[in-house]
Structure 1
Amino acid sequence: MKLTITNEAAKWYIEEMGLVPGDSIKFFGKVYGPHGGFSFAIAKEEPTNPLMLITEEGVNFYVEQFDEWFFNDKEVNIKMRADGYEPEYEVIVK
């Protein structure tokens, strides 16, 4: 499992979510839609048992040990879309 976030994407989350240094953003998998597919979700939440944690601009971005089932075979790279509108997730399954 690998998680990366560009500085530009981190700044987008900080601005859009009103984050300040010391805040934390959790990435996790959730069931989405009527067919039981999974998607990425985020929440402003303090880590309790992080599997992976990176800090950009003083804000922690992390995945909890509990969510390893969703991320264990993936490399997730978070970067801004080419048009700069919002972040996009590049997921590489290992």
Structure 2
Amino acid sequence: MNINITDEAVNWFKNEMDLEEGDAIQFYPKYGGDSPFQSGFSIGMAIGSANEPQVTTEKQGISFQIDEKDIWFFDEKDLYVGLKDGEVAYSDESLN
């Protein structure tokens, strides 16, 4: 499993969340909503490193991570992060 993130999405995180090189974003399951990974769950995000990073990708000096305890949620699928209508969008397939 991998995290794939577009340059536009990285710029969104940097601007909207006031991130600097060396910062980290953690993705995790959130009860409620819907996602392409698990029905009844959406994807949450938080500034900070995962306790036990299982999946990590770095882009423009920012680390994007998923913790070991949350890996079940993604069901062995890649996470694609991009922008849709100016907002962050998540998918289990390319957003290009």
Unpaired segments of 5 or more residues in structure 2?
34-38
Equivalent positions of 1:45-56 (< 5 A) are 45-56=48-59
The amino acid across from 1:75 in the alignment is D
Give secondary structure in 1 for the equivalent of 2:92. strand
CA deviations over 1:53-85 (Å, ceiling 9, x no partner): 11111111110111011013322111122x4x1
Q: Which residue of 2 aligns with 1:24?
A: 24
**Structure 2 matches for 1:1-94, cutoff 5 A?**
1-32=1-32, 37-81=40-84, 83=85, 85-92=86-93
TM-score, normalising length from structure 2?
A: 0.81
Alpha-carbon RMSD across the aligned residues, in angstroms, is: 1.7
Query: Which of 1 and 2 has greater Rg?
Result: 1
In 1, Cα distance between equivalents of 2:40 and 2:75: 17
Cα distance in 2 between the residues matched to 1:53 and 1:73: 14
Q: Is the 8 A contact 2:2 2:56 kept in 1?
A: no
4+ runs of 1 displaced by more than 3 Å? none
Alpha-carbon distance in structure 2 between the residues aligned to 1:29 and 1:47 = 13
Task: Name the structure with the higher strand share.
Answer: 1
TM-score using structure 1 length = 0.83
Letter in structure 2 aligned against 1:87: V
CA distance in 2, matches of 1:30, 1:88: 15
